Amino acid sequence: MSFSLKMMNNNKSQSNRIQSVKMESAKMKSANTGYYGQKLYRKHLHLYINEKSQRNNMKQKTSILALASYLPDKKITNQDLEKILDTSNEWIVKRTGIANRHIMTDQDTVTSMAISNCAPLIEIAAKEKRAITSVIVATSTSLTMPSIACQVCNHYDIDNAFAFDVNAACSGFIYALNLANDRIKNHQEDCILVIGVDAMSQIIDWKDRSTAVLFGDGSGAVLLNRSDRSGLVAIKCGSSANGSEMLKTESKNGQSQLTMQGKEVFKYAVEKLFQAASNLLSEHHIDVESIDWIVPHQANIRILQQLMKKLCIPEHKLILTLKNHANTSAASIPLALDSATKSGKIKRGDRLLFLAFGAGFTWGAAILDY
């Protein structure tokens, strides 16, 4: 039996159950059945309401209402790195695809980037008269307590929100999107703020050529709402039972610094990103040709080029911001999404595939009709 036929049968079966409950409840209500009869009637009515609610939730999607991004003013070019590292602009561009990266100034913090990033989205929510009920922040470079999410709520006077930070490294934004989707689908929330923010400059050994050239700082955010039209089609996140030692931070001279086994991470990243995309497409019976744009975590140009070949997707469908943003970890997907939307590449109605791979190893994939 085909997938679509199964869905039709399931919907028909559910409709029949609801109709049956409605008819039986109506009979009970009209009959003078006393206390226990009325109790049974209320039970049947409760079941009917629950089934109707579940059916309505199936129709609702997690949709992107608005986007925003923030990059620190300070910029470090490959030419700047040539002065402190045994490297060259040509080598960095060829190996990574990166030319520039933004770095926090002394006035910036991870929290301040997130707060600045959210300002236009807070205004949009206010204009739309939507109360933000959840704030979820993806970050792996926050060393603060309380969470960045709670500090954002404090700054913008967002009261009674479900607010917390999630650390899934470079996969963090898709993890946060997955959690937000659950809040909308299963907790009847209507307006959620999701932020990806990281300051990789805080954990880089600037004398280590293998990592110093790769990363930058920034923040990207989305305002999500409930929609019965476009939105999230499929999403899945996970982690591997190995690899935690290949990409991690460790204490050096009293500071947390990033270490990476580059070749091994490269191999794992290409294969896991391919598996995540292929499995999601297959499980939800989605043709890869229906994807208009791939918006991946901006890790490395060679990783992304190999991924596109394995997926048999032409490179002109790949959204790239590596050249000017570098790898901003959890911020990279929302930053790339905002950049491509503002440039006019991504338009409403386009089908997007988000992909990410991070320390852990963690991974995530999502398909969204924008």
Active site residues: 170, 297, 327
State the DSSP string of 22-87: HHHHHHHHHS--HHHHHHHHHHHHHHHHHHHHHHHHHH-EEEEEEEEEE--SEEEEHHHHHTTSS-
Question: At residue 186, what are phi and psi to the nearest 5 degrees?
Answer: -110, -10
Compute the half-sphere exposure of residue 338: CA atoms within 13 Å on the CB side of its CA. Answer: 25
Nearest CA to 291 among 346, 331, 342?
346
Alpha-carbon separation of residue 316 from 215, 272, 319, 353 (angstroms): 24, 22, 8, 14
Cβ-proximal residues to 56 (8 Å cutoff; 6+ apart), any chain: none
